Amino acid sequence: MSGFSPGRLFLLLLLLLLNLSWTVEAVRVVGGNVSVVLGESATLPCNLFDTTDTLIQISWQKMTKGNPVNGKFITILADKTRIFNAVDYRFKNIGNFTKYDGTLLLSDATLLDEGSYSCIFTLFPSGNFRTDVTLNLLVPPVVTVEDDAPLLGGEEASLATCTAAGSRPPAEVKWIMGSLEGSVRSTTTSTLHDNGTTTTVSSLLGVPTRDVNQRLVRCVVTSAALTQAKSLPFTLQVFFSPTTVNVTERSDNSLECMTEANPAASFTWSRADKSWPQSGVTVVGPTLQFVRNTAGVNGLYQCEASNQYGRSHGYLYVHVTSGSCTVCWVLFSLLLVLFAIGLAAWFFYKSRVQGSISKSREESTPAGMQPVPTEENKAVKLMCKL
């Protein structure tokens, strides 16, 4: 130590400590908080700035749901990367050692990866510098809308249910009710699961009337795990058994059975008073087609409309007149001939009688006076019903 006095040595040590203190204060390590959607890739940033010290290594530690004990799991050296404990190839070094960049890429992130990650730079002669990176997992909800199959009635019931299942953070579920606004309402419940996800269920409540049936509503789900809101349209259904069944004549040779039901009714035709005419009629859904217009198809026909909620019936009596009209036309012709002969005889008789009367009147009637006609016009209507 010759040449250095104690006072001078103390001054040199003080200057060295001040220089190291300034160097430590100037060094910056940048990390940050990261959010990633389940199953996607996450970048864990780690960068060192404002130093010219020699970089010895970059090491990573983690304390996560899958690894609750904080420990080293990756060391990055100038020429290689070492992974400690169980090898997890989902982690990849995407940084640049010479540029003081220790960034990692995590692929296929799971809920067990959520937690705190520490990035540590070892410099010479400054020592260690660290930053913490918090990884948050986002889980998008699985959204479904289900029909609650309400029956037609006058009491409030659940019309439909919208479910946002397994979301992290919890999803928000709303209904757009359209024309039903004010006549229906919603109720929402949430359930927290052991893995940290939440299921949110929203039910649409209202009185199941025919006015509600077939109305369009929309379930809208928003969540931080979704890039945009999910909007699911849904047509409400109110279920009821077949109403009044009407059997009408569709054409000269067919009948049609009509009713209102939800779900749509199925139709069954039968003949109430006789056995079914196998060769005389055919059935296609609600339509009964008469193949032959013979007396064999005469009878009381029943249409039954049914679904799983009930059944209803309608009836129509069918009567077909069979045979030829030749006899009818012959009888009509004979009647016409007899009528013509009778009419001619009547006019002949009438003219004879009037001639005698006129002659006697001429003898008894004073000059200047004329006889008054006494004939009446008559109309004869004939009908042949075929």
Instruction: Return d(Cα 67, Cα 61) in angstroms, integer.
Output: 10
240: in domain? no
Cis bond upstream, residue 68 (ω within 30): no
106: in domain? yes
115 and 15 in a common domain:
yes
Host domain of residue 93: 7-137
Residue 10: its pLDDT value, please?
A: 52
Is 327 within 8 Å of 384 (Cβ atoms)?
A: no
Query: For the chain, what is the domain count?
Result: 3
Q: Which residues contact 130 (CB under 8 A, 6 or more apart)?
A: 29, 118, 119, 120, 121
Nearest to 305 by CA among 275, 269, 251, 255: 269
Burial classification of residue 226, based on how many CB atoms lie within 10 Å of its CB (0-12 exposed, 13-18 middle, 19 or more buried): middle
106 and 13 in a common domain:
yes
Which pLDDT tens digits describe the chain residue by residue (386 residues)?
445 565 555 554 544 444 444 444 567 888 889 999 999 999 999 999 988 899 999 999 999 998 888 888 899 998 887 777 667 889 999 999 999 999 999 999 999 999 999 999 999 998 999 999 999 999 999 999 999 999 999 999 999 999 999 999 999 999 999 999 999 999 999 999 999 999 999 999 999 999 999 999 999 999 999 999 999 999 999 999 999 999 988 876 888 999 999 999 999 998 877 788 777 788 888 998 888 777 778 888 899 999 999 999 999 888 877 544 444 444 445 555 566 677 677 667 666 655 554 444 444 444 433 333 333 333 222 222 22
From 264, 288, 318, give the residue that closes a domain.
Answer: 318
Is 167 within 8 Å of 223 (Cβ atoms)?
A: yes
Instruction: Return d(Cα 99, Cα 308) in angstroms, integer.
Output: 74
204 and 312 in a common domain:
no
H/E element, 142: strand 142-147
* pTM for the structure as a whole: 0.67
Instruction: Return d(Cα 121, Cα 127) in angstroms, integer.
Output: 8
378: in domain? no
273: in domain? yes
133 and 41 in a common domain:
yes
209 and 107 in a common domain:
no
From 235, 259, 275, give the residue that closes a domain.
Answer: 235
204 and 227 in a common domain:
yes
From 190, 208, 235, give the residue that closes a domain.
Answer: 235
Instruction: Return d(Cα 14, Cα 236) in angstroms, integer.
Output: 82
293 and 172 in a common domain:
no
270: in domain? yes
161: in domain? yes
341: in domain? no
256 and 217 in a common domain:
no
Q: How many angstroms separate the first and last alpha carbons of the chain? A: 147
SS3 state at 98: helix
Burial classification of residue 382, based on how many CB atoms lie within 10 Å of its CB (0-12 exposed, 13-18 middle, 19 or more buried): exposed
Instruction: Return d(Cα 131, Cα 44) in angstroms, integer.
Output: 11
193 and 123 in a common domain:
no
Residue 83: its pLDDT value, please?
A: 72
What CATH number is attached to the domain comprising 300? Answer: 2.60.40.10
331: in domain? no
Residue 259: its pLDDT value, please?
A: 95
165 and 257 in a common domain:
no
261 and 229 in a common domain:
no
99 and 40 in a common domain:
yes
